[in-house]
Amino acid sequence: MCAAWISPTPRNSTDVVEVLYRDAHLLAVNKPAGVPAQPDLTGDADVCALLGLRDAGIPHRLDRPVSGALLIALDNDVLNGLNAAFADRRVEKTYLAIVEGRVEQGADLAHHLVHDTRLRKARVVDGPRKGATLCRLRVDPVRVGDRYTLVKVVPEGGRFHQIRAQLSAAGHPIKGDVKYGARRGEPDRSIALHAHRLRFEHPLTGAPLEVVAPPPGTGIWPRLLAEA
């Protein structure tokens, strides 16, 4: 697979998707909430389409309502290398989230999750059972407000809806995430979960890379970040 550029792009991509890193083999972008990482049933333009990319590969997923750092492989060697790195948990992922309630101290969360394909969500189950995976999450408060807390989240692995399900199970659903128990949704249907930082080795050169995606500048993100 070799990435090819489509011209013209569907719209001014630099106004939609911020490029964080680029070389001949790898691209990292700050995906806006609401833009699909990959084509979906809606037919809306995904990240690669907005950037005018064809035949590129995405080695990890960000849910449509989630924003943040997304890696795009521009050739098969890089895609295979990144797939292996994510599978072997050699990519360090740090998220920021705004959750309901007050999170006063850090915690290590552990839940058994199953993927409910009928409901299209992750469910917490009691103890190990067939189809369940033990998922772990480190959560630390960054700024505690009256109704919401800005937290740093470091997942172990990356199961389907893991962060969303585990924070909800801990009694702190993500702001706007009505699928997992938030009181109300956001007008743009986004949720306050942001993939902030990725640390990994370049699949071809072995050089250490750190990609940092600035958090959204809308809603209560700026206020909580300024007070952090």
pLDDT in tens, 145-204: 999 999 999 999 889 999 999 999 999 999 999 999 999 999 999 999 999 999 999 999
Residue 222 pLDDT more than 60? yes
Q: What is the pLDDT of residues 129-148, one digit of tens each?
A: 888 999 999 999 999 999 99
Q: What is the pLDDT of residue 2?
A: 35
54-111 per-position pLDDT tens digit: 889 999 989 999 999 999 999 999 999 999 999 999 999 999 999 999 999 999 999 9
Domain residue limits, the chain: 4-227
Reply yes or no on whether 63 is catalytic: yes
Residue 206 binned pLDDT confidence (cut-offs 50, 70, 90) = very high
Provide the strand spans (E) within the chain: 4-5, 18-22, 26-31, 53-54, 67-73, 92-100, 107-116, 121-125, 133-144, 148-156, 193-201, 208-212
Q: What is the mean pLDDT of the chain?
A: 91
Both structure tokens of 34: 């609401």
Catalytic: which of 23, 63, 77, 116? Answer: 63
| Tokens linked to 3 | 């990435």
What is the model's pTM? 0.91
CATH architecture of the domain with residue range 4-227: 2-Layer Sandwich (3.30)
Q: What is the CA 177 to chain-centroid distance, rounded?
A: 14
Provide the residue type at 101 as one letter.
G
